[in-house]
Amino acid sequence: MRMIFYAHASFRLETPEVSVVTDPYTPGASGFGPIDEPADLVIMSSATDRFHSDPSHVRGDPVVVNALLDVPPGGITVRGVPIRAFPTSESLTFDFGRDPDANAMYLFTVGGVRVLHMGDVGNPVAPAVLDALAGQVDVLLALAGAHATIALDDLDRAIAAIAPRIVIPMHYWHPRGVLKIEPVDRFLQRHPEALISRRNGPSLLIDPDHLPATREIIVLDQAR
């Protein structure tokens, strides 16, 4: 499975059979350029956040799945991709000037690799959800910018409980972005340097039969 980090919380995951885009941002308003590539499936953590739910610049005729509303409790399979959703909320303490929006984390499998996208969760992950996810995640797309999303202490606890083999930071400060959130180094400095790999590019190949024996944190460049 090949993964490309577009920007913010948006990734492309593809095999010869299927291509999936996660949480597409709104170009311009987010500071990032359009995706402008085709996909078979778009999965969004909600349909209400311009940083996570604008599929208009994904080309082709993708099926669009709102993980918060379209995925039943037992999960769903779309275009051959199984998806489970875990409803959550933006931060209950951050001052948005409005009520915090609901959204969902979602677990999906592409090319035999189980990927958990953290959506826009802004609070500690519920113990029951951590229990359900423990040992079920190969790759965690981790919210690393704090502020309105999960605090880094709570993120560290979630990582320890879920035990993914690979952690890929996302949703952190970037010079092209407009959000005043933490840079990725604030997250990285909490972890041993020996676990951290910087790829100096936006893409990564992941083989489900050759996952790292111990946890690895992989930092990808943003392509948009």
pLDDT in tens, 100-148: 899 999 999 999 999 999 999 999 999 999 999 999 999 999 999 999 9
Q: Using pLDDT thresholds of 50, 70 and 90, give the confidence band for residue 168.
A: very high
* Average of per-residue pLDDT across 178-195: 97
With cut-offs at 50, 70 and 90, classify the pLDDT of residue 185: very high
Domains (range + CATH), the chain: 2-219 (3.60.15.10)
pLDDT above 90 for 94: no
Model pLDDT for residues 46-90, shown as the tens digit of each residue: 999 999 999 999 999 999 999 999 999 999 999 999 999 999 998
Distance in angstroms (rounded) separating the CA atoms of residues 224 and 210: 29
Q: pLDDT exceeding 70 applies to what percent of the chain?
A: 100
Q: Taking the CB of residue 94, how many other CB atoms lie within 10 A of it?
A: 13
* Tokens read off for 126: 């519920």
Q: What is the pLDDT of residue 139?
A: 98
60-64 long-range Cβ contacts below 8 angstroms, 24+ apart: 62/21, 62/38
Q: Is 85 exposed, middle or buried (0-12, 13-18, 19+ CB in 10 A)?
A: buried
Whether the pTM exceeds 0.85: the reply is yes
What is the pLDDT at residue 95? 80
Under 8 Å between Cβ of 170 and 142: yes
Question: For the stretch 39-60, what's the b/e string if a residue is b when 16 or more beta carbons lie within 10 angstroms of its beta carbon?
Answer: bbbbbbbbbebebbbbbebbee
Per the model's pLDDT, the better-predicted residue between 97 and 131 turns out to be 131
Per-residue confidence (pLDDT) for residue 163, from 0 to 100 = 98
